[in-house]
Amino acid sequence: MSKSIQGKKVAILSTDGFEQSELLEPRKALLAAGAEVKIVGLKAGKIKGWKEKNWGEEVDVDLVASEAKSEDFDAIVLPGGVINPDKLRSDKDAVAFLQGFVDAGKPIAAICHGPQTLIETGALRGRKMTSYKSLKTDLKNAGAEWVDEEVVTDRGLVTSRTPEDLPAFNKKMIEEIAEGVHNRARSSARPAADEGALHA
């Protein structure tokens, strides 16, 4: 049985093109464990998922990133999808919102292409993690130790590779949220992000 995270507030940061199962299944698991879940998007309205080779279900946005505050949440989830993370990492409000979780050492769970957005925060240097295999070089260039494993946890950062890893991802995500803030994960992180520009 999963640990209870009753009353914990969790943000799912996403936009159009999210991998459908990677948003819907973690949200379902979080709600079942007692969390309050809010979808944070780039604009008000709905965001559209991607399923296999076509657009999928639409999901209501609860908050826009420009108005959302990381201090109002206990943890954040980053679904994958090829389109979704690329849009998020290019949006200053989305990156600033995510940066708040990084700086406070709050749990962060990212799956598949989801970790791509984290590159913009400088949070990956020295972190052991995984992702969809095509991101391996990008994440290593950002300072991460990339491994090919079902689920990896390092100082409150939970990562997985593909939708097939969702059961393990959801379980570990809930465990980390139940554990709470990781003081060792607190990070100014900016120098690492700036250093990445040297390799551009």
Both tokens of 176, joined, read 């980390």
H-type helices in the chain, by residue range?
Answer: 20-32, 83-89, 92-104, 136-141, 166-179, 190-196
C-alpha span between 39 and 20 (Å, rounded): 13
Strands 36-41 vs 128-129: parallel, antiparallel or unpaired:
unpaired
Q: Which of 23, 65, 112, 123 is catalytic?
A: 112
Cα 114 to its chain centre, rounded Å, is: 6
Q: How far apart are the first and last CA of the chain?
A: 46
Can you give the C-alpha Rg of the chain in angstroms? 15
C-alpha span between 12 and 75 (Å, rounded): 9
Clarify whether 8 is annotated catalytic: no
In contact, 84 and 14? CB cutoff 8 Å: yes
Residue numbers annotated as active site: 112
